[in-house]
Chains A and B, each alone.
Chain A
Amino acid sequence: MRTLALIKRIFFQMIRDKRALALMMVAPLLILTLLHYLFTGDSANPRIGVVNADSQIVKQLKNKDIIVKQYNEVTNTKKTLKNDDLDGFLEFQDNDIKLTLKNEDPSSTKALQMKIQQSIAAETAKKQVSNLTHFMGNIKSKLPNLPFTMETVNAPKVSTSYIYGSKDTTFFDILGPILVGYFVFFFVFLISGIALLKERTTGTLDRLIATPIQRRSIVFGYLLGYGLFAVIQTVIVVFYAVKILDIMLVGSLWNVIIINLVLALVALSLGILLSAFANSEFQMMQFIPIVIIPQAFFAGILPVDGMAGWLQVIAKCMPMYYGGNALQDIMYKGLGLRDISSDLLILLGFALVFIVLNIFVLKKYRKI
């Protein structure tokens, strides 16, 4: 009953605090949208300049979506690169090829270099084949009596199939699921932590403790009161990500919501717990670089398997490691509830530990 009174009060307070409400409901959507466009935007086609190139090579390059600009001669490669806004420059001199790359962004430069090398190799191979055929023809005409055929080797065709995703998979398809969970975690942590902190600093928690309410009723009241808003937030964020941003979702939407709700519960209990160790909003903010940001590193954006042993141990202490893993399993890999059940159980374990600690920490206020 008293828990219910607490839930009701939190509900009224929350719907009046438009700012906190907006932060919780709208801010994650804004950031998700921004990141979505940042990661899925088509990168501009690379531009290169060529001198003395054979028209076949130019054709090959153009086939690979490279914009080719031909020059008759160039005196200062560096200057031309800069002035004509090129990403690279290819000079053919007899048998040598000189490639100059701007290298503003190493990863796109690598991709460009690869394409150029492929084009040149393909062209060279073609030439070789025609040379060889020519040579054979010559021999044949000179020795007409020789029984002689030449087998031409066709290049094997590689057909690619993907277990997860498709050839159109972008980085955001892997990142998206993690971000959804991360933002739910972050904003629930922040709002619930600061709310209980306010209760502490204004003395109302002290006042509450002078009524016959049990400590666990206070903790459950807070969990459920803010949990209500966390549920709404989770549903909004998940639906927005999946239906509007069209983040890849192979598995079931319900499983995604379940994972996020469990994550929100962990964040809620953690936020309330840590607020006990802060004396002001600013001190609460100080927990963000210590507790929240590192979670992002271990959520699966960077492959945890490749990390040093001790880093992997840290990763396994982070709720977001399990949350990110489960979300990727469902949204990207399309696995089912059974495959993520261990992740979910561990997350629930985190929540349970935090809740028990919360009830314990309130002893600071009242022994019974």
Chain B
Amino acid sequence: MASIVVNQVSKSFGKKEVLKKISLTVEPGQIYGLIGPSGSGKTTLVKIIVGMDQASEGTVQVLDTTVPNLSLLQNIGYMAQADALYTDLTGKENLAFFASLFKLSKNEQKKRIAYAADLVNLTPDLKKRVEAYSGGMKRRLSLAVALIQDPQVLILDEPTVGIDPELRLSIWQELYRLKDEGKTILVTTHVMDEAEKCDRLAMVRDGVILTSGTPAELKEQFGITSLEEVFLKAGGKMG
């Protein structure tokens, strides 16, 4: 049974139609990548999937539950494109606050905080206030917050922007491990070598899914060897 089912979703802001009849399906244990130029509607789509925004038309189902649903959010880990952290609190206080919003026992909370902080290499900086963090550190903390309740579905909006290659690698290793546990992961990205690591990709442009498939299928479809070219070609086709 599919983890995420997006069915004919359209979204307009006023007169402007940002998403046009988008449909996609993500299976459990899959890493699904959304690629597309800036302003194509990736963030808008992701927010609708989480239930933070309402689709103008169409339906979304996550884990067989129609979005929006409050208890479903217990099982969705969301990382926003812009860091949304309490900068006057320490890293640990941020994690502890978000952890306490989920159904976790005190003991589990502690364990999850330690696990998430360790995963993003922030353990030594947990006692610092977030306002003293670098951009990459904030990004990592946001990722840790997304993982805090050990969710079944992870929705990450450009998770690795501003994170150095070494840490990026270790984060991807962790995403693979989570995938092996049967978790569902939806990421948006601009970075093509990351797109390469996804099981499936959807290319979004102007609110439409131009094409989707495995990275290899996409390359084959366009008769080229690098995804970068797919990105440019697909973009060019519309332009």
Please say whether chains A and B are actual partners in one complex. Answer: yes
The residue on B at minimum CB distance from A205 is: B84
* Contact of A366 with B84 in the complex, beta carbons under 8 Å: no
Give A19 Cβ to nearest chain B Cβ, in Å: 11
Does A167 touch B at the CB level, under 8 Å?
no
Does A13 touch B at the CB level, under 8 Å?
yes
From A23-31, A59-67, A208-216, A302-310, give the one contacting chain B: A208-216
Q: Which A residues are CB-close (under 8 A) to B102? A: 211-212
For chain B, the bracket of interface size reads: 20 to 34
Give A129 Cβ to nearest chain B Cβ, in Å: 80
* Contact of B93 with A9 in the complex, beta carbons under 8 Å: yes
Distance A368 CA – B54 CA, assembled complex (angstroms): 11
* Contact of A366 with B68 in the complex, beta carbons under 8 Å: yes
Which secondary structure dominates chain B's binding surface?
loop
Distance A13 CA – B103 CA, assembled complex (angstroms): 23
Q: Which A residues are CB-close (under 8 A) to B38? A: none
* Contact of A212 with B70 in the complex, beta carbons under 8 Å: yes
Distance A3 CA – B61 CA, assembled complex (angstroms): 28
* Contact of A203 with B80 in the complex, beta carbons under 8 Å: yes
* Contact of A212 with B84 in the complex, beta carbons under 8 Å: no
Distance A366 CA – B48 CA, assembled complex (angstroms): 11
Give B148 Cβ to nearest chain A Cβ, in Å: 10
* Cross-interface CB contact of A210 among B73, B86, B97, cutoff 8 Å: B73
Knowing A210-B76, A211-B102, A368-B70, the reply to whether A202 touches B89 (Cβ < 8 A) is: no
CB-CB contacts below 8 Å: B41-65 with A: 50-52, 54
Given contacts A1-B100, A13-B88, could you give 14 more A-B pairs where the C-beta distance is less than 8 Å?
Answer: A12-B89, A12-B93, A16-B88, A17-B88, A203-B80, A204-B85, A207-B145, A210-B50, A210-B73, A210-B76, A211-B98, A212-B70, A366-B68, A368-B51
Q: Which A residues are CB-close (under 8 A) to B68? A: 366-368
Mask, A173-213, CB within 8 Å of B = 1, is: 00000000000000000000000000000111011111111
Q: Which A residues are CB-close (under 8 A) to B73? A: 210-212
Distance A13 CA – B80 CA, assembled complex (angstroms): 22
Does B101 touch A at the CB level, under 8 Å?
yes
* Contact of A204 with B84 in the complex, beta carbons under 8 Å: yes
Does B231 touch A at the CB level, under 8 Å?
no
Knowing A206-B52, A209-B52, A366-B52, the reply to whether A5 touches B82 (Cβ < 8 A) is: no
What are 11 A-B contacts with C-beta separation under 8 Å?
Answer: A8-B100, A13-B89, A17-B88, A204-B85, A204-B86, A208-B101, A210-B73, A210-B78, A210-B80, A366-B68, A368-B68
Q: Which A residues are CB-close (under 8 A) to B71? A: 212
Does B87 touch A at the CB level, under 8 Å?
yes
Q: Which B residues are CB-close (under 8 A) to A204? A: 84-86
Q: Which A residues are CB-close (under 8 A) to B83? A: 203
Does B8 touch A at the CB level, under 8 Å?
no
* Cross-interface CB contact of B101 among A13, A203, A211, cutoff 8 Å: A211
Does A360 touch B at the CB level, under 8 Å?
no
Give A82 Cβ to nearest chain B Cβ, in Å: 59
5 closest Cβ pairs, A-B complex: A207-B84, A5-B100, A203-B84, A212-B73, A211-B101
Does B226 touch A at the CB level, under 8 Å?
no
Does A2 touch B at the CB level, under 8 Å?
yes
Distance A211 CA – B76 CA, assembled complex (angstroms): 8
* Contact of A203 with B82 in the complex, beta carbons under 8 Å: yes
Give A226 Cβ to nearest chain B Cβ, in Å: 15
Does B212 touch A at the CB level, under 8 Å?
no
Q: Which B residues are CB-close (under 8 A) to A208? A: 101
* Contact of A13 with B86 in the complex, beta carbons under 8 Å: yes
Q: Which A residues are CB-close (under 8 A) to B25? A: none
Give A183 Cβ to nearest chain B Cβ, in Å: 26
Knowing A9-B97, A210-B78, the reply to whether A365 touches B88 (Cβ < 8 A) is: no
The residue on B at minimum CB distance from A211 is: B101
Q: Which A residues are CB-close (under 8 A) to B82? A: 203
Give B12 Cβ to nearest chain A Cβ, in Å: 16
* Contact of A202 with B88 in the complex, beta carbons under 8 Å: no
Give B130 Cβ to nearest chain A Cβ, in Å: 11
Distance A208 CA – B87 CA, assembled complex (angstroms): 15
Q: Which A residues are CB-close (under 8 A) to B211? A: none
* Cross-interface CB contact of B74 among A206, A207, A212, cutoff 8 Å: A212
Q: Which A residues are CB-close (under 8 A) to B170? A: none
Give A343 Cβ to nearest chain B Cβ, in Å: 38
Which of A202, A204, A212, A367 has the most chain B CB within a 10 Å cutoff? A212
Give B4 Cβ to nearest chain A Cβ, in Å: 15
Distance A12 CA – B93 CA, assembled complex (angstroms): 9
Mask, B198-233, CB within 8 Å of A = 1, is: 000000000000000000000000000000000000
Q: Which A residues are CB-close (under 8 A) to B145? A: 207
Q: Which B residues are CB-close (under 8 A) to A202? A: 84-85, 87
The residue on A at minimum CB distance from B76 is: A210
Distance A210 CA – B157 CA, assembled complex (angstroms): 13
* Contact of A210 with B52 in the complex, beta carbons under 8 Å: yes
Give A322 Cβ to nearest chain B Cβ, in Å: 36
Does B173 touch A at the CB level, under 8 Å?
no
Distance A326 CA – B102 CA, assembled complex (angstroms): 43
Distance A12 CA – B100 CA, assembled complex (angstroms): 15
Distance A124 CA – B198 CA, assembled complex (angstroms): 108
Distance A17 CA – B83 CA, assembled complex (angstroms): 21
Give A106 Cβ to nearest chain B Cβ, in Å: 52
The residue on B at minimum CB distance from A203 is: B84
* Contact of B52 with A365 in the complex, beta carbons under 8 Å: yes
* Contact of A212 with B101 in the complex, beta carbons under 8 Å: yes
* Cross-interface CB contact of A213 among B78, B85, B93, B101, cutoff 8 Å: B101
